[in-house]
Amino acid sequence: MNAQKRQQIFERLKAHNPKPTTELDYRSPFELLIAVILSAQATDVSVNKATAGLFQVADTPQKMLELGVDGLKAHIKTIGLYNSKAENIIKTCRLLLERHDGQVPRTREELEALPGVGRKTANVVLNTAFGEPTIAVDTHIFRVANRTGLAPGKTPLAVEKKLMKTVPETYRQDAHHWLILHGRYTCLARKPRCGACIIEDLCEYPHKTSD
């Protein structure tokens, strides 16, 4: 895909949604970090239902630690992998207090040193909480980047690197959210809604289907 097409894709995505953001509910970098850890292999809707109650009683690392693993599990048991997520979150809260004065760190290395935080989670926090132009490649972005021809790659890291190189700088900050939302609501996994797609004529997907 050439640079002109990429430019047009992001121009349209921006026109359609000028200020995209995450669909996770949060009020602080700490709440966002916890919500993103919980969102692995779970929907944002299910995470928001669980955190609505959780953040009422534990909106800081100290309060979360006081809940303990079992107390935390009671709030998140509707979410997949909640046992391991609870263990990781409690360990992460302990490290936030011990190493970072209870604050969420602002570097990738420090974020990825926290239990349950991989590259994708670190990218989301850096982008959404701290305004850095990172792109977290989840299943939606991986699919959209490959299917459209925007940034083909065999691994999430390969796609991320290609996007960081080819997305025009003006759009890099918001590219993450535009592509996730496009994959979530239009460029669906099983049957893309090509007929309802605002970038259909720019897409290089060979087997387009109409809605």
The helix/strand/coil state of 177 is helix
Distance CA 8, CA 11 (A): 5
Is 101 a catalytic site residue? no
Catalytic residue (choose from 138, 162, 174, 191): 138
Q: What is the CA radius of gyration of the chain?
A: 18
120 is catalytic: yes
Give 196's DSSP letter. G
For residues 137 and 162, the answer to whether their CB atoms sit within 8 Å is no
Question: Which residues contact residue 4 at a Cβ distance below 8 angstroms, ignoring those fewer than 6 apart?
Answer: none
From 73, 85, 120, 174, active-site residue: 120
Distance of alpha carbon 197 from alpha carbon 81, whole angstroms: 34
What is the DSSP secondary structure assignment for residue 137, as one 8-state letter? -
Structure tokens belonging to residue 178: 């535009």
Catalytic residue positions, numbered = 120, 138
